[in-house]
Amino acid sequence: MDPVAFILLKAPGFIEFIQRFGYIGIFIWFITFDQISPIPEEISLLIVGYLCAHNAFHPVLAGLVCLAGFVTADIAYYYLFKTGSRLFKKKSGRSNTSWVARYKVKLKNNMPKTIATLNFIPRMRMWAPILSGSMKLPFKRFILFDSISLTIFTVLYLSLGIIFNNSLSAVMEKMKGLQNIIFFGAVIIAAIVIIMVERKKIKKTA
């Protein structure tokens, strides 16, 4: 692991899981801390892609582990809200009623498109299983469309992380330190943009 990468990733805690647990650490991250971390999942995938480009992980195996983490978390959300737990009902009730009602209608009328849309809106992905579970929509249909959408989502962002690193490598073979700084600078900028888009989306739906 390059020193710059280590320093930039140490703060959010992602690097500790990678170093200590490897592939298992990726899975643990996405089913636990990713649910409460301010780091968008898109950024986590870009970082995993970057690490794959540096031969820390095999891209196919890393992608499968990331996907397994996403699907596992979504199944948990689906069944927790389907069973009607008071704790989760309270959490769901805090959301904007009109927004929830609108997406429930969309899920009922066009589940594949709505799930895909929610999965690609930063920090809104968990609403696909939450709403599907609370509406008691068929699990087999939900998990099929959710898995397809998450597969595309995972492949896209992992590939972007790999491609971005490889592009910089070709241009700056003799400037690896600057390459790392530029990559993680771009990641930070991407995180800021994603957060801004998320807040703007929430304001529009409020």
Residues 6+ away with beta carbon under 8 Å from 168? 179, 182, 183
Share of the chain above pLDDT 90, in %: 33
Residues 6+ away with beta carbon under 8 Å from 81? 88, 89, 92, 129, 130, 131, 133, 134
- Please give the distance of CA 58 from its chain centroid, rounded to a whole number: 19
The pLDDT tens digits for 123-164 are 788 899 999 998 889 999 999 999 999 999 999 999 988 887
Q: Specify whether the CB–CB gap between 132 and 142 falls below 8 A.
A: yes
Interatomic CA distance for residues 130 and 64, integer angstroms: 23
Interatomic CA distance for residues 168 and 143, integer angstroms: 37
Task: Please tell me the least confidently modeled range out of 73-87, 115-129, 161-175.
Answer: 161-175
Is the pTM higher than 0.75? Answer: no
Name the more confident of 132 and 83.
132
